[in-house]
Amino acid sequence: RCGTSFLLIVVVVSIFVFVFVGLHPLWWRLLSRMLLMPLVAGIAYEILKFSSRHLESPWFRWLIVPGLLLQKLTTREPDDAQLEVALAALKGVLDSGQELT
């Protein structure tokens, strides 16, 4: 249940929702997408939550596999150089926060 899976579900749901909008002038397509995006995001969120509650079902496990594969593609463990940069940044933030108080 991460953002990567959510974005994949948003893309799939938006394809199904916006196919009903049809081919209209550009201004209508832009307006319809802006107005329908909260609906698309809500549907995607509910699908994500529903699938997380039914992980024991083989059908839902099969449906979440693309999201898991995309998550595996976009995320990985940091290497030592990345950890060193993150720790230096954290130390800088903590040091500057102590000076402000």
Q: Where are the beta strands (DSSP E) in 1-63?
A: none
> Over the stretch 34-74, which tens digit does the pLDDT of each residue have?
999 999 999 999 988 888 888 888 877 787 888 888 888 88
Least confident window among 27-31, 51-55, 81-85: 51-55
**CB 5 within 8 Å of CB 71:** yes
What domain count does the chain have?
A: 1
Q: Which domain holds residue 36?
A: 3-100
Using CA atoms, how far residue 28 sits from 18, 23, 64, in Å, is: 12, 9, 33
What the block records as the tokens of 15 is: 């394809």
Average pLDDT for the chain: 86
3-state helix, strand, coil in the chain (%, to 5): 80, 0, 20
